[in-house]
Amino acid sequence: MLQVTNINKSFHGKQVIKGIDLSVQKGEVLVIIGPSGSGKSTFLRMMNALEFPTEGDVLLEGESILYKNVNNKKQPRKEKELSKFRAEIGMVFQGFHLFAHKTVLENIIEGPMQVRKIKKEQAIQQAEQLLEKVGLSDKGNQYPHSLSGGQQQRIAIARALAMKPKMLLFDEPTSALDPELVGEVLAVMKELANEGMTMAVVTHEMGFAREVGDRIVFIDHGVIVQDAPVHQFFQTNQKNDRINRFLSTISRNVV
Q: What is the pLDDT of residues 142-162, one digit of tens each?
A: 999 999 999 999 999 999 999
Helix (H) or strand (E) holding 76: strand 73-76
What was the pLDDT predicted at 162?
Answer: 94
Question: Domain 2-102+167-253 maps to which CATH number in 3.30.910.20, 3.10.580.10, 3.30.160.60, 3.40.50.300?
Answer: 3.40.50.300
**Residue 142, CA atoms < 13 Å, CB-side half-sphere:** 13
Longest dimension (CA), the chain: 58
Phi/psi of residue 185, nearest 5 degrees: -75, -45
Residue 165's identity, in one-letter code, is P
Would you place residue 205 in the very low, low, confident or very high pLDDT band (cuts 50, 70, 90)?
Answer: confident
For strand 29-33 and strand 215-220, is the pairing parallel, antiparallel, or unpaired? parallel
Tell how strand 2-11 and strand 14-24 pair up: antiparallel
CA distances from 38 to 168, 169, 217, 220, 249 (A): 21, 18, 12, 5, 15
Per DSSP bridges, beta strands 167-171 and 89-92 are parallel
Domain range list for the chain: 2-102+167-253
pLDDT at 237 over 60: no
Task: Tell me if 55 sits within 8 A of 7, measured CB to CB.
Answer: yes
Q: How far apart are CA 206 and CA 33, in angstroms?
A: 9
DSSP letter, residue 66: S
Q: How confident is the model at residue 243 (pLDDT cuts 50, 70, 90)?
A: confident
Confidence of residue 255 (pLDDT cuts 50, 70, 90): very low
Quick one: pLDDT band at residue 254, thresholds 50, 70, 90? Answer: very low
Q: What is the pLDDT of residues 95-146, one digit of tens each?
A: 888 999 999 999 999 999 998 899 999 999 999 999 999 999 999 999 999 9
Single-letter amino acid code for the residue at 28: E
